[in-house]
Each structure stands twice: as C-alpha cells, then as structure tokens.
Amino acid sequence: MTPPGKEARDGCGAAASSELVTVIVPAYNASLTIGATLNSIRAQTHTNLEVLVIDDGSTDATADIVLRHASIDPRVRLIRQANEGVAAARNRGIAEARAEYLAPIDADDLWRPAKIELQLQALRAGGSRVGLVYCWFALIDEKSRIVSLRHRPVDEGDVLARMCLGNVVGNGSSALIRKSVALEVGGYDSSLRARQAQGCEDLKFHLQIAARYHFAVVRDHLTGYRRTPRSMSSDGAQMMRSYELVAAEFTNAYPQYVRQFHEGRNYVLSWLLTNAFSYRRYRDAAQLTRRMLANDRRYALFILAMMPAILTRNALAPVVRRSLKTAPWPRRGIASSHFLSDNVVLTA
C-alpha cells in the first residue's frame, strides 16, 4: 500500500508544496491537549505553515505551552484575546491569516502528517469551483486511541442538499478552505454564543460555503476527532438550540430543502440522545426524547426501541477493541491503537 502522502509528493503535489497555509487553532483552557495538537501540526509533511493559536481567555497553562512551541518553531504564533467563544477566535485567526488557504483545527484534535499536503493536492486539482476540501476523521478517546473509523463519506461537487441532511465534513478540524471563500461567507457566526447556542458554528459555516462552492474529499482518515464527556458536542440541549437556529435560517433561505433538514434533525436528535444516555445526562435525554417525538413520532419510537441495543454495543466496544487488538489478522493494529501510530494504516 502506498504510504500516506507519497501521492502528494508526486505530480501536482510538487506544485502545491510552496503554498503557504494558515493553521487556525482556537484554544480555551486546553493545557491537557494543546501540546499534542501542536506536535501533529508541526509534523505536517507540508511545511510551509503559519500556525496561529488564538488563546480565547484561558486561565490555565495553555499560553505557556504554546509559547514553548513558538520558542523552537517560528511558524507558531500566540494571539491572546478575552474570552469570546470559538467562532470569534476562529474569525480572529481568519483576519490575522497571511495565507490564501486556511486549515482550522480544535485544540484537542490531531492530524496525520500528510493531511495538509493531500488536501492541497485535491484543492488544486478541483480548480476554482472547489472552495473546501475535507477528509475522513477517526473518532478518538482521551488517550488518542482510535474508537471508530466509520466516517467515510464520498460526497463531492455540489453537496448543499447532502449537507442539509448532515455535515459531511463532520467537525471543525477536517477542512482546508480558501481564505477568500471564508471571507465571502462572513466567517463563523459568533452570535450563536450570545444566543446560548454554541455548537453548530461549523455546520453553518460549511453550509454557507456549500451554497456557493463545490466540495472535494480526501478519502483517508487524516483527522483525529476527540469526543469526551467534557466536549461541547456532549451538551445536548445547547447543541440542539444551535442546530434549530441554523436549520431555521437555511430552510427560510432554501425552502426546497425542508425535507432534508427534517431528516437531518432526526439524525442530530438520535446522536445527541445516544450521547446523553452514554454520559448519564438523563435530564438532557428526557428533553431530547420529547423533541424527537414532536419532530417525527415514528422515527422517535424506532430509535427508542433500538436504544438498549445501541447503548449495549457502545458499552461493549472497549472490550471488543481490546479483543481485536490481539486477534490474529493483519488489521489487528487498528483497534485501540494510538491515532498517530506509524504502525496503523487507516486508508481503506
């Protein structure tokens, strides 16, 4: 199998190697993870990077850790601001960026070394119609071990209708975006925080881009997306408020996609309900159940009937992964392996 990144170093990848890319890292009290995130950024095979860490009013050692990285790598720059939320921090990064290409990453996520290199290749191959290139992501736990490789969408080109069903990009750390496109759509919506509805800034931003430009995809798990009980995506009530605001705005603008947003709402509710039960947030679970029943009673009853099986599967997953790790077949190294391990091949 071809090593990740070799394709980008051949052919048109050579032309992309000189392009400056600005990496935008919003960080708030991220001292436990920011070091690993910066290590994965600095290890990119595409080395022409500007790395902007926007410290959004942290009260821990986040800034000190970033400054240590900056002292040995001049590509890293710390920008401090009062706490204004993730959207405002990303917008600050966009405003400060010197590059024509932007690569946002959250302060607890990871990249495989060839991530930027392969995405630049895809962006150049797609031409000016492509405004965003995303990649597949691996779900990782607090110790950066792989939990799931299920994210494998292949949607490209005009993806607006598909985006109304759900965000194919999947998170805020998997995209490479033209700066001109980000400015054209107005950046991330910082007003969601003021409306106590943080969480779907990425979805709205990606929808706005999909309404104007084509997407391309790199079919490799190049992003490690960390999900823990402390993550924003685990706050079901807030995430749902955020989703409803974004969905209402886009159904008003694109009424032809009402059905897709209805189905997308079902998916978001079922995902949040599973998280609420998994993290024993029973008050959130009760609220989400009521929302599901009001949105689509038949679908809600189906999901509720399936929930014991879903939760049992999730509870057994760590045991199964440990068993798979010692199983006598070639792909045993994937289960429970560290996302950045050199011994793990993540391509299909």
Q: What are phi and psi of 68, to 5 degrees?
A: -65, -40
Helix, strand, coil % (nearest 5) of the chain? 50, 20, 35
Show the domains of the chain with their CATH numbers. 12-233 (3.90.550.10), 258-312 (no CATH)
Q: What is the tens place of the pLDDT at every residue in 227-244?
A: 876 665 557 778 889 999
Q: Match 């920011």 to its residue by tokens.
A: 34
Instruction: Give residue 208's identity as a one-letter amino acid code.
Output: Q
Place of tokens 């299909």: 348
| Residue tagged 């980000």 (tokens) | 182
* pLDDT tens digits along 316-327: 655 555 555 555
Q: What is the pLDDT of residues 29-57, one digit of tens each?
A: 999 999 999 999 999 999 999 999 999 99
Q: Are 133 and 217 in contact (CB under 8 A)?
A: yes
pLDDT, residue 67, reads: 98
The alpha carbon of 263 is separated from its chain's Cα centroid by a whole number of angstroms, namely 21
- Max CA pair span of the chain: 58
pLDDT value at residue 285: 87
Between CA 333 and CA 105 the distance in angstroms is 26
Q: What pLDDT does residue 4 have? A: 44
Check: pTM over 0.85? Answer yes or no: yes
Buried b (16+ CB within 10 A) or exposed e, 171-180: bbbbbbbbbe
Closest CA to 239 of 274, 290, 201: 201
Residues of the chain with pLDDT under 50: 1-15, 329-333, 348
